[in-house]
Amino acid sequence: MKNIIMLLMVVLFVVGCASAPKTSTITVLVDKPFVINAEIADTEAAREYGLMFRRELAPNTGMFFVFDDDATQSFWMKNTLIPLDILFINATGSVIDVQTMEPCATVLCPSTVSRVPARYALEIPAGVAKEQDIQTGTKLLIHNSD
């Protein structure tokens, strides 16, 4: 019985220490600026998992991918259930490429590659980029909540 109580205490401690995902607030500077609340993917594991298995993504939410250096970035949609727009962003916060990605449930999923080197990427629900007139040259203000 003591072992069970001790195990339960350890589990509760670990769960209590688990932190919520890091988030960022991103203001998109278009004719009518709007805000996207994005989870931050700044580790290899977080970037690899991305938005897999999500069944929905609210219009003003997304995932913000942070890379160490400017490079050609490659994304795939394996096990991603919803279509997404992806904004590739340079170090100064300007959108340098916009593409739409479709879900992929097969073993061989195509990659979406940035047309030019990017420091960041932002995945948002498909159609939002067009609705909000986000295009190459659109400026983003990125504020980490940490």
Q: How far apart are CA 106 and CA 71, in angstroms?
A: 27
Q: Half-sphere exposure of 103 toward its Cβ, with a 13 Å CA cutoff? A: 13
Q: Would you state the structure tokens that stand for residue 128, as one six-digit string?
A: 């939002």
Q: Are 97 and 116 in contact (CB under 8 A)?
A: yes
Express each pLDDT in 118-128 by its tens digit.
Answer: 999 999 999 99
- Domain contains 6: no
- Domain contains 5: no
Express each pLDDT in 47-73 by its tens digit.
Answer: 999 999 999 999 899 999 999 999 999
Q: Can you give the CATH number for the domain in which 42 is found?
A: 2.60.120.1140
The number of residues making up the chain comes to 146
- Domain contains 1: no
pTM: 0.83
DSSP-based three-state secondary structure for 36: strand
- Domain contains 4: no
- Domain contains 99: yes
Range of the domain at 58: 21-144
- Domain contains 60: yes
Q: How many domains does the chain have?
A: 1
- Domain contains 3: no
- Domain contains 113: yes
